[in-house]
Amino acid sequence: MIRVTLDFNCAVCGHDQFNLPVKREDGQQIRCANCTAYKCHTLDLERALVAMRREPPRTAA
Ligand SMILES: [Zn+2]
């Protein structure tokens, strides 16, 4: 799992960091990094994931 900050907030606690699955065994679920509530596949989440995987990591150079 990797922890990322997204442009929306957890519906349960309002936290804006989420743990995203990176390995197959992590499954497809995205969890709030704070309260570990499961966030299901909303359109927003899918868009965030797609954007994350397409854009190379930005380095502060
Ligand atoms: Zn939460």
Whether residue 60 has pLDDT greater than 70: no
In a domain, 39, yes or no: yes
pTM above 0.75, yes or no: no
**pLDDT at residue 44 in the model:** 63
In a domain, 10, yes or no: yes
In a domain, 9, yes or no: yes
Owning domain of residue 15: 2-54
In a domain, 60, yes or no: no
User: 29-51 pLDDT, tens per residue?
Assistant: 778 899 877 665 455 666 766 77
Q: What is the DSSP string of 1-61?
A: -EEEE-SS--TTT---EEEE--SGGG-S-EEETTT--EE---HHHHHHHHHHHHSPPP---
In a domain, 25, yes or no: yes
The CA–CA distances, whole Å, from 58 to 31, 34, 52, 54, 55 equal 24, 25, 11, 12, 8
CA of 14 to the centre of ligand 1 (A): 6
Measured between alpha carbons, how far is 47 from 45 in angstroms, rounded to an integer? 5
CA of 51 to the centre of ligand 1 (A): 22
Number of domains present in the structure of the chain: 1
